[in-house]
Amino acid sequence: MAQTAGAGFGESQALGESIRVARNLSTALIFRSFIFLIGVAFYSIYCRPLLRLEEYKGTTINRAGIVQEDVQPSGLKVWSDPFGRK
């Protein structure tokens, strides 16, 4: 009888330990996924434009011939730099 009670106690303890390990692994997986997504976003926003300068140089050239008063909606004043930069 003593062996049966001891074996049952050991099995439930092992089951509890495996549940704790599974919870720790799932928490670690969620945390690592979150860090991975932050890394992907950082790469696409910051690193990729720095590595491919030729693709992003054309954006300022395309706006060179636009007169702001012509494209401004009626009733709104034209934006001006509040710090007076030129």
Determine the pLDDT at residue 1: 44
Helix or strand run (H / E) with residue 49: helix 48-51
Whether residue 45 has pLDDT greater than 70: yes
Q: Which residue has the higher pLDDT, 63 or 54?
A: 54
pTM for this prediction? 0.47
User: Tokens at residue 74, please?
Assistant: 């009626």
Could you please report the per-residue DSSP string of 29-71? HHHHHHHHHHHHHHIIIIIHHHH-HHHHHHHHHTTTT--HHHH
User: Tokens at residue 36, please?
Assistant: 């991975």
List, for residues 15-40, the tens digit of each pLDDT value: 777 788 888 888 999 999 999 999 99
- CA angle 73–74–79, rounded 5-degree value: 60
Whether residue 5 has pLDDT greater than 60: no
CA–CA gap between residue 64 and residue 37 (Å, rounded): 36
